[in-house]
Structure 1
Amino acid sequence: MNKPLSGKTILLGVTGGIAAYKAATLCSRLVGLGASVRVMMTEGATKFITPLTLQTLTRHPVATDVFDERDAAIVQHIDWADAAHLVVVAPATANMLSKLANGLADDMLSTTLLATTAPLLIAPAMNVHMWEHPAVIDNVNKLASRGAVFVEPGTGQLACGYVGKGRLAEPDEIVEAVLAMLVGPKPLAGQRVLITAGGTVERIDPVRYITNDSSGKMGFAIAEAARDQGADVTLVCGRTDAAAPGGVKVVKAESAAEMHDEVMKRLPETDIVFKAAAVADYRPLRKSEHKMKKTSAELSLELVRNPDILQAIGEWKEAGGGGPFVVGFAAETTELEKHALDKLQRKKCDLIVANDVAAEGAGFGLETNIVSVYGARGFAEHLPRMTKRAVAERLLNIVRELKEGMEKR
């Protein structure tokens, strides 16, 4: 029998929600794949499923009390924290998310999670309104920014009677995420990927600026996917709606000029570029050092062109006879294909990813996108509405396939 998790130690944290019963199936699946599973339970979790059940399935004692030290030769929570190749919290309640996000350590599990340096996989489960509460959203974003990976809750009938998002992901989904993190393919290992994300800010004065609606979500999704595929990722960010993902190098660049400089100096050490940022085409000719006061009924701003980063990358490649594989982005509202193909040629890109930002499900700030990808020699692929992470995964696959084809020629 194939046991891909042989030699891997997984620390499973189970917290106090009705979905705790699914921990039994999860343990069984992981043990069946060869993992050594060590379970830690909160006091609330023991009200829903007994430690004996999980001890029997894992063949290891279950830890519930930080003061219950059974072996004088070790400090249990430190020993288990150091031994883990991966930590999984399933189910993760809103309370545990808050503890993890804010560094609290008042029980066995939260104390151990502060002590481990292993990757963290979290599968939340709670009432739909709790999952959508701003405090929970903030905690999830904070944990994600530190590199935690989430298996998002499913939508369906909840134990509380509501129908909505909040149900713990099925054990097989969590197992798939575990496999991806511990033994999944790393097709971009050794590749250096540079991604721009968000909108640039062009200052008028210290409190006013010109910007756009870009949230940075598409660039962030590409960064996460490239990171998970083993790439060394550098993310050059303008203004974004959320914190950048963990596990990548983040470089802040507020203006188009700053982003241009940060990108260009990194090109010689870059294998793939995704220019997903929405860069302002113009900036004010003069920026006031102090807040401008109202002096008349009208105000005129004189604007000048910003450097065209994508154009500069293409020209740099052409002048040097080589360089990174370049993927540009085109946000359009009319004649999508015409404008995308024109941009592909003018900017000397290897691929252009175009989307109609006026289309439902494809605009700025959304979790989904609808894109068309165009390349040389008539390459075209149209992706239906899907999550931005799914779009990112497909874009990376396309880039790998085309790069491999170019290298064989």
Structure 2
Amino acid sequence: MKPLEVLITSGGTITKIDDIRHIGNFSGGSTGARIAEAFLESGASVHYIHSKHAKRPFRSQLALDPNKNLEDEIMRLHTATNRYLVHANRLHEYVIQTFAQYHDTLERVLKSEPIDVVVLAAAVSDYGARHQKGKISSSQDKMTIELEKLPKVIGKVKEWKLDVYQVGFKLLADVDDYELIGRAYEHGLKSGSDLTVANSVRDGNFNKRHVYFVMPQRFAISVPLVELGPRLVRAVYDNIRSTTNEKSYEKSTQ
């Protein structure tokens, strides 16, 4: 099977209130960066659309920690740099901030590049305010901001690239696993995803999420958070290989 061309979105988008303020979310892009690293290490080429301050593949390992032994840090940095350089020519990065930039960049890359897989790990704005030029006065004791629902970009992906293998994400808070899987399944059907990564935050702790791969064939696989990247790569390759074999079999029997 040939190496894949994978598009991964990561981090969070913002919508501007005025020229000074915006509405955003807490996503730091850790999950997207780890998934990108796993795909790069599998031999894939990665197109990484990320917000301005999101984590980037391998970059967090390239900073020296002054609180640790200098010689150990130099050795670690040498190893990390070599690891990055092995994959650097297959990593293409695109920086975005706003919802509109996310929408337009995703559309452009999907239409212009031979993308096989899209992994939509970014936390995209659900609502946006009507942008006002300049700065809204802060002299008032209260300020009301009216938010408008933004279009679901995930629903447009297969309009832009019909045959792409789509991985969606569904993040919920403080729900049991049964509800998490059920809502992720419905989200996957509605959005046309081939696999949905369902994860639930408990008590606001993002480092102890419950993660499942939810398939449109009505089954779910529990995945340890620390293994999310490599396990997702394996699942995507296996599913694409299985689909390819089925299509080949159908052609041979016609």
What interval of TM-score do these two structures reach, taking the shorter chain for normalisation? 0.7 to 0.9
- Take 1:407 and 1:243, find their aligned partners in 2: how far apart are those partners? 32
> 2:37, 2:57 within 8 Å by CA — same for their partners in 1?
no
- Take 1:305 and 1:314, find their aligned partners in 2: how far apart are those partners? 21
Identity %: 29
Letter in 1 for 2:195: L
Aligned residue number for residue 117 of structure 2: 272
Change (3 A) 1:307 1:258: farther
> 1:336, 1:355 within 8 Å by CA — same for their partners in 2?
yes
Aligned residue number for residue 225 of structure 1: 38
User: 1:338: Cα distance to partner?
Assistant: 1.9
> 1:315, 1:348 within 8 Å by CA — same for their partners in 2?
no
Aligned residue number for residue 69 of structure 2: none
User: 1:407: Cα distance to partner?
Assistant: 0.7
User: 1:215: Cα distance to partner?
Assistant: 1.1
Matched, 1:376 2:216: yes
Matched, 1:257 2:100: yes
- Take 2:26 and 2:204, find their aligned partners in 1: how far apart are those partners? 16
Which runs of 5 or more structure 1 residues have no equivalent in the other structure?
1-186
Normalising to structure 2: TM-score of the pair? 0.76
Among 378, 381, 393, which residue is 2:230 paired with?
393
Q: Report the number of matched residues.
A: 210
After superposition, where does 1:142-291 map in structure 2 within 5 Å?
190-245=3-58, 247=88, 248-268=91-111, 269-285=114-130, 287-291=131-135
SS at match of 2:8: strand
User: 1:257: Cα distance to partner?
Assistant: 1.6
- Take 1:294 and 1:206, find their aligned partners in 2: how far apart are those partners? 13
- Take 1:359 and 1:326, find their aligned partners in 2: how far apart are those partners? 30
User: 1:359: Cα distance to partner?
Assistant: 5.7
- Take 2:19 and 2:56, find their aligned partners in 1: how far apart are those partners? 23
- Take 1:357 and 1:260, find their aligned partners in 2: how far apart are those partners? 26
Matched, 1:331 2:171: yes
Of 262-271 and 391-400, deviating more is 262-271
- Take 1:201 and 1:360, find their aligned partners in 2: how far apart are those partners? 21
User: 1:202: Cα distance to partner?
Assistant: 1.0
- Take 2:32 and 2:3, find their aligned partners in 1: how far apart are those partners? 20
RMSD, aligned CA: 2.0
- Take 1:279 and 1:243, find their aligned partners in 2: how far apart are those partners? 17
SS at match of 2:202: coil
Among 227, 240, 249, which residue is 1:403 paired with?
240
Change (3 A) 1:243 1:232: closer
> 1:199, 1:213 within 8 Å by CA — same for their partners in 2?
yes
SS at match of 2:125: coil
Aligned residue number for residue 37 of structure 1: none
User: 1:340: Cα distance to partner?
Assistant: 0.3
Normalising to structure 1: TM-score of the pair? 0.48
User: 1:292: Cα distance to partner?
Assistant: 2.0
Change (3 A) 1:359 1:337: farther
